[in-house]
Each structure stands twice: as C-alpha cells, then as structure tokens.
Chains A and B, each alone.
Chain A
Amino acid sequence: MAKQTPLYASHVEAGARMVDFAGWDMPVNYGSQIAEHHAVRRDAGMFDVSHMLALDLDGPDAQPYLRHLLANDVARLTAPGKALYSCMLNEQGGVIDDLIVYVFSPTSYRIVVNAGTADKDVAWMRKQIAKQGANVTLDARRDLAMIAVQGPQARARAWAALPGSEAASRELAPFQAVKWSGGLIARTGYTGEDGFELTVPASEAAAVWRDLQAAGVAPCGLGARDTLRLEAGMNLYGQDMDESVSPLDAGLAWTVDFRDAERDFVGKAALLAHPATRRQLGLILLDKGVLRAHMTVHTDHGPGETTSGSFSPTLEQSIAFARLPLAASPGDAVKVEVRGKRLAARVVKLPFVRQGQVLV
C-alpha cells in the first residue's frame, strides 16, 4: 500500500494521474505535463512535495555535528533563515543523499531530504550522532506538508492567496527562509524559477492548496517537475548520482567545501584521494528523437553516458545530462547511441534554462 500525502484527496479530485514514486502515491500530471511545465516557466505552478521529509535538528552540538555530517559547510549559514544545498556522503565519498539545510540558530536547524532515501538518511544521521556522541535531538516532522510554488508570478500569487504571507516574506532573498504561521516560507525550489517552498501543518495543506489554486497557481505533477529540474541543470538523486558516485564526478564539486582545512567531514579523505574522473555536462540532441538515461555517448575523448534525459518543452528539443571524459567541453560535437543509431548532439554547459531564459 503506497503512502499518501495530506494532499492526496486534492490530487484525485483534480483528476490527477497518480503513480507510485518512492513508495508514495503521487500525481505525475493533471492532464498535460507540457502545459504544466510552461505554467511554471511563464506564470506560476505548484507541486506537492510532502513526500520529502522535514527533520528538525536541535541541541548545543548541532553546528559541529552538521559540519562533520555534510560535505558543504553549514558555517556558511551566517544569518537565521539561510539555506544551504549539500550532499551527505558515505566514508567512500559516495552520495547517500542530497538535501537542503536551513539554519534558525547555531543550535537549531531544519533539514529536508528526499522521499526515497528518508529512512536510510535518518538511520545514517542517528548513527553519526551516536558515533560523535553529539548532544542533539533529531525529529522527523511527518506532521508537516510541503508545497513548492514556482514561476515568475509565484510569489505574487502566493501573497495574494495567503493573508499575512507578504509582510513575512517580502524581503526574503533567494535561498532564505522565515518561520510563518506554524510553518516556513522558503525562497527555494527545484525548477530554475523564482518562488517559494511552503511548509505548513498537514491539517492546513488542503486549504492552502485550494487557496493557491484560486489565486491562479496551476497544480503540477512530478512529470513537469522532472523536465523543469532537467532544464535548470539540477541533479536528481538516484538518477544523476547515488552511493556509488562521487559528487566530484556528478557536477556537484561546487557543493563540496574544502576551504576550512581544519574541518573534517564524512567522505573528505576519499574525495581528496580520488579526484574527479568524469565531468557532468549537458547535451542537446540535434537529430530527431529523445535522449534518456544510460545511453552511450561517443566523444573525441572516449565514451561517456547519459544520466538523465527527456524532451525539453522550453527548447522543443531533447536534452540530457551526461557524464563525460574530463577533456570533453562545451561546444563539442558528439554522437549518442539511441536504439542502434548514432544521433548527433552538442555538448553544452549547464543549466539549459534559468528564470525563463534559454542559456544554451
């Protein structure tokens, strides 16, 4: 029996096509995923992301614990409400999960992890608490629901829908959050557009969803979420990286913070011993067809492999992420093996699209 989020009934009522995603019954689309994609790029759309798990970490050792647990450095979070994207690595330098951590104070953090890895993450975090003897508490917050409202008009529509939210969040900079009405308003997302990720008590989720829809925010499913994040050059855990992949090979070197030489973190020694062997770049298919994961890429510098691929509704062409030899670079002409044929593609720098603008 698949798990249901507090918005399950809202999705069914809206005619969503429901699919199993990481053990959760989730909407893949409400009709056309391309129309939902365009709603986010051009106006405002919303996603139920309540399947992701919010965790509260509190206690006097919270900051030193996280500085050891995560590859990115929470010491960068110098003001309350700031958010940081990080990988959580194993000792071999493989990615256990990627997550967002929000700071409320050096003794109080909110962490949001992926749905499919949530149980494994919590077990790992508890193990590290015990290992460090850290004086912290870790609470899973399944009493909360999360709604991502994304698009150029997302903030304005959220403000119109939710009384009092504008005064609380008007001054929020990107990657900042503020506590609001029993939850959180964060100026974050997974689409490459402006917007909020709203955390609300589960009991209020359906009303918030309904009010956002009444304010002109289009319900969007996991299908559009995937093409939006792909265009935005954002990795998907389990697809573009996992426990067998180093963040240095998966385009995530920018999230690994080696600057404080005094700071040790789980996986650091392995990353220092094994520098990057591959480079993650984008591909645009020049021939007709659709790129998918695990296709072989032939470059002048040797073979590579796609990790994610789909049709880009914004570019109206197929695009992909590929793990390529280190010598590969944007502008290279490559061939991708698609059902026995070699199709022409061009290597580009990620992302493909940001804030509605095509960058490639």
Chain B
Amino acid sequence: MSNIPADLKYTASHEWVRAEADGTLTVGITDHAQEALGDVVYLELPEAGRSVAAGEACAVIESVKAASDIYAPLAGEVIESNTAAVDAPESVNADAYAIWLFKLKPADGAALTRLLDAAGYGAEIANA
C-alpha cells in the first residue's frame, strides 16, 4: 500500500503539492509514482522564472525503465528547482515526499482547493 501523507495535496498525474506559509507551492512526485517508475536515474527540471499553465508538462523524470512527464499542478511561475535532486535522482526512490522537485508561485492561490486531498488521491490510484 502506498504512503499518502494527509497534510499534502495531490494531482491525478501523481504530483504531491505542499502549500507553504508564504503562499508558494512545493511540488514532488508521489510514493506510488516512484514505485511504478522504478529506479530513477535522471531528472530534467524547469528553470526559475518559467511560466507554466495548470497541467503543463514542465519536468521529466526517467527511470531505467521509462521516461515520464511531470506536470505543473496549477498555473504560476517556477521560482526554484531542486539541483540536489538532479545530482542524486535515486533519492526520489528513497523518500519521494522528502525530495521536492520545484517550487511554484501560483497565479491564483485559491485554486489549491481544486487539487485532490489524500483520500481523493488514494481513491484515484485504487481505481487506476
């Protein structure tokens, strides 16, 4: 059974999102996603300053097995990418929730309510 922390928000495309106190969003991929991908060997993350639409493919994660897109959970501007994760992509397998991939300043903070909560995401992957 996958680990789905209750304090995070989720997308159906397997990103987790943490709302920070300063209104920014921290984004990573879920434990379910890392397990499905297998050993992660490469990350391509968006540049700071890039504007992204909700659902836009803005990063790539590659395991030995396959390449997969990572999508912006909401519209906004990328403010930072995790270069430490790029240098150690296997860390995503070790703890998917400890390893963030990029931070986003959302265009509309209220849009956060459109994301899934832990129960909604759990139901999503149970039905997949």
Q: Residues of A with Cβ closer than 8 Å to B?
A: 17, 28-29, 32-34, 223, 227, 288-290, 292, 310-311, 313, 318, 339
Point out the residues of chain A lying under 8 angstroms from B98, CB to CB: none
Point out the residues of chain A lying under 8 angstroms from B41, CB to CB: 290, 311
Cβ-closest chain A residue relative to B64: A311
- Asked whether any CB of chain A lies closer than 8 Å to the CB of B80, the reply is no
Interface residues of B, count at CB 8 A: 12
Please judge, given known A-B contacts A290-B62, A339-B60, whether A28 and B38 are in contact too, CB under 8 Å.
Answer: yes
Partner of B67, one of A17, A34, A290, A313: A290
Q: How far is the CB of B90 from chain A (nearest CB, A)?
A: 8
Point out the residues of chain B lying under 8 angstroms from A339, CB to CB: 60
Partner of A227, one of B35, B64, B67, B93: B64
Complex contact B60–A313 (CB within 8 A): no
Point out the residues of chain A lying under 8 angstroms from B42, CB to CB: 288-290, 311, 318
Q: In this complex, which of B35, B38, B39, B60 has the most chain A Cβ atoms within 10 angstroms of its Cβ? A: B39
Partner of B64, one of A17, A288, A289, A313: A313
Q: How far is the CB of B86 from chain A (nearest CB, A)?
A: 8
Q: CA separation between A288 and B41, bound complex, in Å? A: 10
Point out the residues of chain B lying under 8 angstroms from A318, CB to CB: 42
**4 A-B pairs with least C-beta separation:** A311-B41, A290-B62, A34-B39, A311-B64
Which B residues between 58 and 72 are near A, CB-CB below 8 angstroms? 60, 62, 64-65, 67
Q: In this complex, which of B38, B44, B62, B64 has the most chain A Cβ atoms within 10 angstroms of its Cβ? A: B64
Cβ-closest chain A residue relative to B90: A34
Point out the residues of chain A lying under 8 angstroms from B67, CB to CB: 290, 292
Partner of A223, one of B44, B60, B65, B93: B65
8 CB contacts below 8 A, A to B, read A33-B39, A33-B65, A227-B64, A288-B42, A289-B42, A289-B44, A311-B42, A313-B64
Q: CA separation between A306 and B64, bound complex, in Å? A: 16
Which B residues between 35 and 49 are near A, CB-CB below 8 angstroms? 35, 38-39, 41-42, 44
Point out the residues of chain B lying under 8 angstroms from A33, CB to CB: 38-39, 64-65
Q: How far is the CB of B73 from chain A (nearest CB, A)?
A: 21
Cβ-closest chain B residue relative to A29: B38
Cβ-closest chain A residue relative to B36: A17
Q: How far is the CB of B45 from chain A (nearest CB, A)?
A: 12
Q: CA separation between A310 and B63, bound complex, in Å? A: 9
Complex contact B62–A223 (CB within 8 A): no
Point out the residues of chain B lying under 8 angstroms from A290, CB to CB: 41-42, 62, 67
Point out the residues of chain A lying under 8 angstroms from B39, CB to CB: 32-34
